[in-house]
Every structure is written in structure tokens, then in C-alpha cells.
Structure 1
Amino acid sequence: MLIAPLDEFTAVYHRASGITHLLTEPAPQILAVLGEGASSLDVLLERLGRDYDLDDGTREALAARLEELVEAGLIERA
């Protein structure tokens, strides 16, 4: 993947599909943490919590964002 910030969007070019996706927060941050080796929802929450103020509904919201990234073909389920 090639990733380039564009103001409030982040362009993500997925080489395998040839598709460019325009993402908004927190999707680029999620991809970055996954790229660092986060392997579970708990690890992802812990690492994102270092830089962002997370609230009680974050776990469910994060799971929904992960599902969106799976559906877009940008990540795979483990």
C-alpha cells in the first residue's frame, strides 16, 4: 500500500487491487498501528490509547472501523 495525507483525507493506494481509497480519521491511524504489528483488538486499543483520548464506546466503534477496512480489502481478518 502507498499512503499519502491529503488535508483531512488520507489517500491509500492498494496495489493488489489497483484501487485508491480516501480515508478519514481514525482509519489511517488504525492502519498505521496494524502496520506496527498490533494483532488483536485489545492491543490495537492500547496502542491507540497512547495518542488519543478513548472513551467507553471505543471498542465497538473500533470493531466497526476494522470491519469497514476488511470490506474495503485493505486488511484481512486474522
Structure 2
Amino acid sequence: MTLRVVPLDALTLIYHRASGITHVVDAPVPEILQELGDEALTAPALLARMADRFALIDADGAALEARLEELVIAGLVERVCAT
């Protein structure tokens, strides 16, 4: 997936080239996308990475799952099913 990410003050613009849609997002979306990169991660693995990187003490797995679902619906990340 090809995304163009441009920080703009407190917000971030994400241009999804395939759809031609520009999304205006706030934290933690840019951080989630940066941690994912091109790698397929489970939500718990992503949460562990983010908790380590940002020194999160009370990381909320349910909140991360909700953000990931929103990103799937927006077309910014893809859900990969294990076979």
C-alpha cells in the first residue's frame, strides 16, 4: 500500500495514492502506521512495540484494536488473516 504521510502542525495528512483520498489524522494514527511499516503484526505485538517505544505504562489493548479497526475501514491498513 502506498501512503504519503505529511506532518502538518499537530495533525498529519495521509494521502492514499490508490484511492486518491487524503486523510487528516491525529495521534496515535501516524505512530501506529510508522510502527507497522510494511510488517504484518498482531495487535498485541503492535501494542508491545508501542508500549516499549513510547514508554506506555497502562497501554490499552482495546483502544488499539478500535484504532486499528478504524484504519482498516479507512483503507489505511489491511487485515491479514493467518492460514
TM-score, length-scaled by structure 1: 0.90
Consecutive aligned runs of 4 or more in structure 1 exceeding 6 Å deviation: none
8 Å contact kept, 1:38–1:44: no
Q: Percent identity?
A: 49
Alignment match, 1:8: 10
Paired positions, count: 77
Aligned equivalents of 2:48 and 2:38: distance in 1?
A: 13
Alignment match, 2:25: 23
**Partner amino acid for 1:19?**
I
Aligned equivalents of 1:51 and 1:18: distance in 2?
A: 31
Aligned equivalents of 1:46 and 1:38: distance in 2?
A: 14
Q: CA RMSD in A?
A: 1.3
TM-score, length-scaled by structure 2: 0.85
Q: What are the ranges of 5 or more consecutive residues in structure 1 without an aligned counterpart?
A: none
SS in structure 2 opposite 1:11? strand
